[in-house]
Amino acid sequence: MTTSATTDRTTFPALTRPIRLIASDIDGTLLDSRELISPRTRKAIASAVKAGLWMVAATGRQITQIPEALSTGELTHVVGSNGAIGIEVASGDLLFEEFLDPAVSAEIVAHLTSELEGVRFSAVRDRGRRHAAEPGYLDLLSPRELTFWRVETESLADLVATPTLKLTARHPELSADDLLDILDGSGLDGFHATTSGAPFLEIAGAGVTKASGITRLCEHLGVERAEVLSAGDAKNDVELIGWAGVGVAMGNAVPEAQAVATWVTASNDQDGVALAIEHVLAGQEN
């Protein structure tokens, strides 16, 4: 749901339907600025699951990159790669995958390489278990990223020849938002590109967003849109925040996310997600 400019986002909205599913971003949302989950947030998540709510990580991360604090029974599902893949945590069952077409990948790569010297690409492989990266891509990764990802170098031709959950593009000087602006001006179609605050542009198949992934999960679980609360902070959360019955933007969220939110909560360093979950649980106890 997209709210109007006159909507009061300072007060948590009265719930017209019970919330059955909470879909939350991870970085900048569930995690604080130290990349930790506060005790209050962890308690709120556990309380939601105990109350019978589905607790879903809706993330740009891969399903293999979920923090340990969230992989010990506190999540019921993960929708990863910005909506391109969904799994059930307890069973590990794959629920869906959506791929970027190789022909579209090739067009994107051709355009950006013609426009930008030094741009480099990688592609997600094997349900997020590894990344294929063209030569030179590893030189742009931080030491932390080198330990965080399993990356294998491939030729650029081989990289774009296989369908991928997500294509990423990096540049040694330009930001991810700069790359997004350049790609948006290309006139190309057949994909959805976004940014998450990470130092790379993220490109999925046409229409693939966190909102589309959560929609597919809700269809699988029999949950209606009005029964979903979402939370996020970055551009890749905008579609989901605007789609959900209750869309929550973090206090540290980008303006685009706050503009479509039903409610703007506290920041990720001030337990913003916990506040939202607590409001939901309190309202449904009455």
Please check whether residue 16 lies inside any domain of the structure: no
Q: Do both 115 and 198 map to the same domain?
A: yes
Stronger pLDDT, 284 or 155, i.e. the higher one: 155
Measured distance CA(264)–CA(237) in Å, rounded? 13
Please check whether residue 6 lies inside any domain of the structure: no
Please check whether residue 13 lies inside any domain of the structure: no
Taking only the tens place, the pLDDT of each residue in 37-73 is 999 999 999 999 999 999 999 999 998 888 887 876 7
| DSSP, res 94 | E
pLDDT at 143: 80
Given 173, 205, 237, the domain boundary residue is: 205
Please check whether residue 113 lies inside any domain of the structure: yes
Say which CATH number the domain at 216 has.
Answer: 3.40.50.1000
Please check whether residue 9 lies inside any domain of the structure: no
Q: Do both 80 and 200 map to the same domain?
A: no
Query: CA nearest 221: which of 124, 79, 125, 100?
Result: 79
Q: Do both 188 and 141 map to the same domain?
A: yes
Q: Do both 122 and 190 map to the same domain?
A: yes
Q: What is the mean predicted confidence (pLDDT) over 78-95?
A: 96
Encoding tokens for residue 49?
A: 């699951």
Q: Are 204 and 212 a contacting pair, CB within 8 Å? A: no
Given 205, 230, 250, the domain boundary residue is: 205
Q: Do both 112 and 198 map to the same domain?
A: yes
Residue % of the chain over a pLDDT of 90: 84
Q: Do both 82 and 60 map to the same domain?
A: yes
Q: Whose structure tokens read 């604090």?
A: 69
Please check whether residue 197 lies inside any domain of the structure: yes
Domain count, the chain: 2
Q: How confident is the model at residue 8 (pLDDT cuts 50, 70, 90)?
A: low
For 11, 147, 224, the CA distances from 2, given in Å and listed in that order, are 16, 39, 17
Measured distance CA(69)–CA(91) in Å, rounded? 18
Stronger pLDDT, 16 or 93, i.e. the higher one: 93
pLDDT at 147: 73
Using alpha carbons only, give the angle 34, 38, 43 rounded to the nearest 5 degrees: 160
Strand arrangement of the beta sheet that strand 263-264 belongs to: 94-97, 85-88, 77-80, 54-58, 21-24, 228-232, 246-249, 263-264
Please check whether residue 138 lies inside any domain of the structure: yes
Q: Do both 177 and 218 map to the same domain?
A: no
Report whether pLDDT(99) > 90. Answer: yes
pTM for the whole structure: 0.93
Range of the domain at 166: 102-205
Q: Do both 139 and 220 map to the same domain?
A: no
Say which CATH number the domain at 157 has.
Answer: 3.30.1240.10
Contacts of 282 (CB under 8 A, 6+ apart): none
Taking only the tens place, the pLDDT of each residue in 135-146 is 999 999 888 777
Q: Do both 92 and 118 map to the same domain?
A: no
Q: What is the mean predicted confidence (pLDDT) over 137-157?
A: 86
Taking only the tens place, the pLDDT of each residue in 213-251 is 999 999 999 999 999 999 999 999 999 999 999 999 999
Please check whether residue 2 lies inside any domain of the structure: no
Given 148, 174, 205, the domain boundary residue is: 205
Q: Do both 184 and 116 map to the same domain?
A: yes
Q: Do both 92 and 110 map to the same domain?
A: no
Query: CA nearest 80: which of 139, 145, 27, 153?
Result: 27
Q: Do both 130 and 144 map to the same domain?
A: yes
